Amino acid sequence: MPTRPAPVRPLDAHTAAELSSVAAQLLADHGSATSPGLLAALPEACARLGDAVRHALRPVETADGLFVVRGLRPDDTELGPTPGHWSTVGEAGAVWDVILLLVSTLMGTPIAWDGQQDGRFVHNIVPSPGHESEQTGASSSVLLTPHTEDAFHPGRAHLLVLCCMRNHDGIATTAASVRRTALREEDVQQLRRPVVPILPDDAYEQAQRYPGRPVPVPTLFATDAGLTMRFDPAYTPLDEADQEWRQAYRRLEDELARVSVAVSLEPGDVLVVDNDIVVHGRVPFRARYDGTDRWLKRSSVRVPGRRTRPEAETDEHGYGQAALEAHPS
């Protein structure tokens, strides 16, 4: 797998301090990163931020479909040990939750899910005992298969934002852009057909029990800007598709593997991924559960008015999952 660096947008020391200071003041004013008052205050707080941070968070502008904002620096000791499960994080790293919410608000509208991590707008991604081999963020010992975030849902994020708290072992996030692939036109046409559904992943137990019939969805969709993608092979019943479609899907998998890159995040790095263009995953690693394991924080962002998806998605049931907006636009 290539290891070429992701496009990096640096923050100078003044801009990083400005963003951190605004986040710290919001947290002091509202007491918790999950406070409804803090969520409501995000747009006004963002209006006080200068042009430099706005420039760093301008839209994705290359076929890579991602970039890294670099210049923020967490204090490893101050963070405390990596939690063993998202539910035990409490207020650890809370100011980084607020930083991530500010970053997300500058790019769009942060969203949460009523069925995941108690409806929090910032998720903690840590390896958890008993989940090592799952296809979720809590896994460790298996390759996290490249996928579109929340691919099962029509209201999924346009942007995925990952902030690295700790990564002593240099564990890589994998990423592959459909716009870097060299697909045959006949394969594109096959995969624009809605043949099979994408099912909810194991992080959505309530959605997995939804009684409605799964809705077939297209894998690829053409826009004026280029191809977009909705892809999650681990939760796609491929054996229900016809042979021609399955062959095209396998060739897409091969092409994504060919163009995949490994992005090893440093503490404080913020990785922004265009969820319509790029699939992401993670290489396997051995979790120690000693407080020093990899720890990321994650937010999901919708971009109001963005037209990158088929109109038919508006008729999907989303397996009963409701997306919550931090501050409706």
DSSP state of 277: T
What's the pLDDT tens digit per position in 173-183? Answer: 999 999 999 99
Is the distance from CB of 300 to CB of 111 less than 8 angstroms? yes
Q: Is the pLDDT of residue 1 over 80?
A: no
Predicted pLDDT at 121: 95
Residues whose CB is less than 8 angstroms from the CB of residue 48 and which lie 6 or more positions away in sequence, other chains included:
22
Can you give the pLDDT at residue 34? Answer: 93
CA atoms in the 13 A half-sphere facing the CB of 273 = 30
CA distance 72 to 12: 9
Q: Determine which of 2-11, 149-158, 196-205, 236-245 has the lowest per-residue pLDDT on average.
A: 2-11
CB-count burial class (<10 Å; 0-12, 13-18, 19+) for 102: buried
Confidence of residue 303 (pLDDT cuts 50, 70, 90): very high
The verdict on pTM exceeding 0.85 is yes
Please state the φ and ψ torsions of residue 270, each to the nearest 5 degrees.
Answer: -120, 115
* Average pLDDT value over all residues in the chain: 93
